[in-house]
Amino acid sequence: MIEAIIFILAYLLGSIPSGLIVGKVGYGIDIREHGSGNLGGTNTFRTLGVKAGLIVTISDILKGTLAASLPFLFNIQDLHPLLVGIFAIIGHTYPIFAKFKGGKAVATSGGILLCYTPVMFLTILVFFFIVLYISKYVSLSSMLAGVYGIIYSLFTKDIPLIIIITLITIFIVYRHRANIKRILNKTEPKVKWL
């Protein structure tokens, strides 16, 4: 019973639409009506600027971190934090509070790793920004960061981590399939602030 409650809480945490809240409260704008129409940090950066983008991205990261922390907070030792974190990813991608149309789960996935393995999170973050600096594509950086995460996890020999990070990366690539087409067609927007 308590496990089900934790899963529901994780989903609800993930469902908090940071981009929608920041856009409407801070700027009087529904970011779903601008840019890519996505609720994630990238569209917030493009639509509302760096300050709003940072707020949304950090909020989305912390959603994942808090969700993955629930087993510890409830003292449920046999419930894996990464498994709980998946429900936050589902919530972020298909949020009940925003008509089930959310972000692409990159930041929230990172937040889960921040809880479970902070060193891995930091190395992925560094890798992400290196690729972003070189390519100027957030989408490409996100996908390659996931691939890097899989490679990193193999050295940990942590089977649950290897499985979950692989599933997350596959999901992130799937969510970026339109971006992949735009990259190939050279129509994908590049960041201008880096």
Q: Kindly report the length of the chain.
A: 194
Q: Is residue 160 part of a domain?
A: yes
Amino acid at 154: L
Q: Is residue 192 part of a domain?
A: no
Mean pLDDT by 10 residues, the chain (194 residues): 94 94 90 83 87 93 97 93 97 93 93 97 98 95 97 96 97 95 93 76
Q: Is residue 74 part of a domain?
A: yes
8-22 per-position pLDDT tens digit: 999 999 999 999 999
136-156 per-position pLDDT tens digit: 999 999 999 999 999 999 999
pTM for this structure?
0.92
Q: Is residue 86 part of a domain?
A: yes
Phi, psi of 104 (to 5 degrees): -105, 5
Q: Is residue 54 part of a domain?
A: yes
Q: Is residue 71 part of a domain?
A: yes
Q: Is residue 194 part of a domain?
A: no
Domains in the chain, number: 1
Q: Is residue 70 part of a domain?
A: yes
The boundaries of the domain holding residue 159 are 2-184
Residue 90, helix vs strand vs coil: helix
Pair of tokens at residue 48: 């509302």
